[in-house]
Amino acid sequence: MKKWQTSVLVCASLLCLSACKNQSANQADNQSGDKQGQVSSQMAKQGEEVPDFELTGVDGKTYRLSDYKGKKVYLKFWASWCSICLASLPDTDELAKEESDDYIILTVISPGQKGEQAEEAFQKWYQGLDYKNLPVLLDPSGQLLASYGVRSYPTQTFIDKEGKLVKTQPGFMDKETILENLKTMN
């Protein structure tokens, strides 16, 4: 093997090991200092009941998934640095404003995780936006992200009235597609 190929492999290996070590340290720090909510480490699996969670929103309210049993839940994971997420926030806010007795719209941000800014900075930034109908839940530990297997932003999940995970979809989803998914769920 050529010297440059060996050098690239060694550097890539060291970079991966360093990233894994930093992620483990961040997870340990977050788990020890998580005062914001309770999230199960259990993985959400399609067709199965999802674990309950309790998170605080940017509005200071406490949100529990179990409070919405009997309603369909659209759960959107997003980040302030994600241009696709920001472009879709007006639709998500409009959906939240139009909520019916049949469904609820919730969004989740994970301060300090996956490139998201710290909680205080996020809250200050978010206050400057004009989305007043949109519940934004804070997951500073990143445990909810992990339990839903979120790897990219935005990621949408659909939970039926019985609390079972129907669908998880990363990437952009327009308002009409979200509504269609909600209509076809039981």
25, part of any domain: no
Distance of CA 114 to the CA centre of its chain: 11
5, part of any domain: no
Q: Is the pLDDT of residue 82 over 90?
A: yes
61, part of any domain: yes
Specify the range with the lowest mean pLDDT, choosing from 97-101, 119-123, 139-143, 156-160: 97-101
4, part of any domain: no
Which amino acid does the sequence have at 56? T
- DSSP code for 1: -
16, part of any domain: no
Reported as a pLDDT band with limits 50, 70 and 90, residue 121 is very high
Specify the range with the lowest mean pLDDT, choosing from 32-41, 63-72, 153-162, 174-183: 32-41
Q: How far apart are CA 100 and CA 111, in angstroms?
A: 29
Q: How does pLDDT run across 144-175, given as a tens digit for each residue?
A: 999 999 999 999 999 999 999 999 999 999 99
Q: Please name every residue paired with 73 in a beta bridge, in sequence order, or none if there are none.
A: 104, 159
108, part of any domain: yes
- Residue 166: closest CA among 67, 64, 44, 65: 44
Q: Tokens representing 78?
A: 């997003």
Alpha helix (H) residue ranges in the chain: 3-32, 83-97, 119-127, 143-147, 175-184
Q: What is the CA angle 93-94-100, rounded to 5?
A: 105
Mean pLDDT of 135-140: 96
Q: How far apart are CA 126 and CA 124, in angstroms?
A: 6
Q: In a 3-state reduction of DSSP, which class is residue 164?
A: strand
- Structural domain boundaries enclosing 148: 34-184
In total, how many domains does the chain have?
1
29, part of any domain: no
If one counts every other C-beta atom within 10 angstroms of the C-beta of residue 22, the result is 10
Reported as a pLDDT band with limits 50, 70 and 90, residue 186 is confident
CATH number at 76 reads: 3.40.30.10
Q: How far apart are CA 158 and CA 129, in angstroms?
A: 26
21, part of any domain: no
